[in-house]
Amino acid sequence: MTIADILMLISVFCIWSLLLVNVVLIVAGYLYYIQIENKPVVPLRGEPPFVSIMVPAHNEAKVITKTVESLLALNYPHDRYEIIVINDNSSDNSAELLGKLQEKNPLRNLIILNTDNIIGGKGKSNALNLGLAQSKGELIAIYDADNTPEKNALLYLVSEISNDPSLGAVIGKFRTRNRDASLLTRFINIETLSFQWMAQAGRWKLFKLCTIPGTNFIMRREIIESMGGWDVKAIAEDTEISFRIYMMGYKIKFQPKSVTWEQEPQTVKVWFKQRTRWAKGNIYVIVKNIPLLFKRSARNIHFDILYYISIYILLLTSLVMSDLLLVLHAMGYVKTTIASFSSFLWGLAIILFIVGTFITLVTEKGEMKLSNVWIIMLMYVSYCQMWMVVAAYGMYGYLKDLFFKREAKWYKTERY
């Protein structure tokens, strides 16, 4: 057996192992969706807790008005929540628009925190810490500046966390508001439903683990304060704080009935910058938490650490290695006796990817349509390969920042 054969076998084994883990998560996630579909959210008992909704915003004039208006219209007692918009060193007319919203709603708890480049302009984590210092809620909810949550979104989150003291946070779901804007947004819509929310549902069902997304979630104030707020070095602040919540002994629950709609990138350039930031941020979290693999006290989160290592390091390396070996074999530069077998497994993996991804869409109204099969097939040969480039470039950017001892820069996603 040649070295090429050994490398190919290792790559195929890693890819299929991760693929089968994904299948298990899909099955478990699907069962979770069925379990809660007709199960009502546990109602609030007694006086509703006071909630501080924080919205970090930097140059969000295109979307901020609609976001704040949707938050003002939430189905939650109006005297039991406040909205704090951290207008973070914006150079557009966000301050003017937010000022008009305050004038139209003088009796509502709408607080605008305008920052400059001295105390602000340092990324989302810093903005959230500034907002936390101004807040008074016993529960802290976060929404991104491009979100339009459904009316019951906050109520469902509050109900879940209020009725279970073991929960440190509860996350809802975000959906793609502009899914029909371009082929790219169609890909993102499917990616979000299949590889984010179905995986979240599966991890909660099997391990009682979930990772906080960047928006539509709620946390206990006492937890945030005890950990000293958000890590300003983390550009994937949501993933980073999830692990700290785990280590405090709390669970993070997924409640898919809490839904917000958000705007996704409509061009490859904007998508690439956003996803590269995600990749760099998650690699930072991986490196920061790898030591927990060797601590028995952290055994309840070993799966999540290995899960992230597998996605951003093991899967990427295996895909690049297998693709490279197949290309070099076809060109005659290397000899591998299992190339045909690897090609068969590769084809089988593609079929499993298409079928598994399509199955995850049946939990959403309006997504069970034949056209999505073609979108998924096209997604595999284009969008998934683009993800490999993003992950590799994110790793390169992380190592480059580490080598030159530079602070990671926060990239604000362009709005439309």
- Amino acid in the structure at residue 412: K
72, 83 contact by CB (below 8 A):
yes
Closest CA to 161 of 136, 140, 131, 184: 140
User: Under 8 Å CB-to-CB from 160, ≥6 apart: which residues?
Assistant: 41, 42, 167, 170, 253, 255
Closest CA to 322 of 337, 341, 342: 342
Taking the chain (416 residues) in runs of 10, the rounded mean pLDDT of each run is 76 82 89 88 89 95 94 95 94 93 87 90 91 96 95 96 95 92 93 87 91 94 94 88 92 95 92 90 90 87 88 82 74 68 72 85 79 89 87 88 76 74
Structure-token match 């190339």, residue found: 339
d(CA 362, CA 383): 21
* C-alpha pair distances (Å), 218 with each of 114, 150, 195, 209: 23, 15, 22, 15
DSSP string, 138-165: SEEEE--TT-EE-TTHHHHHHHHHHT-T
Q: Residue 225 in 3-state DSSP?
A: helix
What per-residue confidence (pLDDT) applies to 203?
92
Strand partners of residue 261: 148, 175
Tokens describing residue 125: 């984590």
Tokens describing residue 322: 């297998």
Report how far Cα 8 is from the mean position of its chain's Cα atoms.
Answer: 32
What per-residue confidence (pLDDT) applies to 341?
61
Strand partners of residue 253: 170
Phi, psi at 228, each rounded to 5°:
80, 25
Bridge pairing between strands 81-88 and 110-115: parallel
- Amino acid in the structure at residue 368: M
Phi, psi at 395, each rounded to 5°:
-65, -45
What per-residue confidence (pLDDT) applies to 336?
67
Burial of 52 per CB tally in 10 Å (0-12, 13-18, 19+): buried
Terminal Cα-to-Cα distance of the chain (whole angstroms) = 55
User: Under 8 Å CB-to-CB from 330, ≥6 apart: which residues?
Assistant: none
Q: Which domains does the chain have, with CATH numbers?
A: 1-416 (3.90.550.10)
What per-residue confidence (pLDDT) applies to 147?
93
What per-residue confidence (pLDDT) applies to 248?
92
What kind and span of H or E run contains 217?
Answer: strand 217-220
Bridge pairing between strands 217-220 and 167-176: antiparallel
- Amino acid in the structure at residue 388: M
Structure-token match 């899960």, residue found: 307
User: Under 8 Å CB-to-CB from 386, ≥6 apart: which residues?
Assistant: 268, 272
* C-alpha pair distances (Å), 15 with each of 185, 356, 402: 26, 15, 29
Structure-token match 């190592």, residue found: 399
User: Under 8 Å CB-to-CB from 199, ≥6 apart: which residues?
Assistant: 22, 25, 26, 29
Handedness of CA 132, 137, 139, 141 (dihedral sign): negative
d(CA 212, CA 215): 8
Burial of 252 per CB tally in 10 Å (0-12, 13-18, 19+): buried
Burial of 282 per CB tally in 10 Å (0-12, 13-18, 19+): buried
d(CA 215, CA 173): 8
Structure-token match 């991760």, residue found: 18
